[in-house]
Amino acid sequence: MIEAYILVNVKPGKEKDLVENLTKEIGNSLISADIVYGEYDVILKVRIESFNELRNTVVEKIRKLDYVERTITLIVAS
């Protein structure tokens, strides 16, 4: 099992849209989705079965959204 934080920048005003869409798209793999102030707009925590599934989640489910501008993925080292 892999845990990761995904830091996301979105177009202004789209933070809630991202959280709502990913709650539906990712389902039980999404541990938390927090809208934050600062350099990033949303911080996601996911728990996923494999690196391939993590890649697919980031590339196919998050980055495909037209209002997502940038992501950074941090894999938990535990």
Kindly report the length of the chain.
78
DSSP 23-45: HHHHGGGEEEEEE-SSS-SEEEE
pLDDT band at 27 (very low <50, low <70, confident <90, very high): confident
pLDDT band at 78 (very low <50, low <70, confident <90, very high): confident
Is position 2 within any domain? no
pLDDT band at 25 (very low <50, low <70, confident <90, very high): confident
Please give the residue range of the domain that contains residue 21.
10-42+50-75
For residue range 43-65, what is the model confidence (pLDDT) as tens digits? Answer: 999 999 999 999 999 999 999 99
Mean pLDDT of 18-35: 92
Is position 3 within any domain? no
Is position 4 within any domain? no
**CA separation for the pair 74, 62 (Å, rounded):** 15
Contacts with 7 (C-beta within 8 Å, 6 or more apart), sequence order = 40, 42, 43, 44, 71, 72, 73, 74
59: DSSP letter: I
Say what the pTM is.
0.93
CATH number, domain at 64?
3.30.70
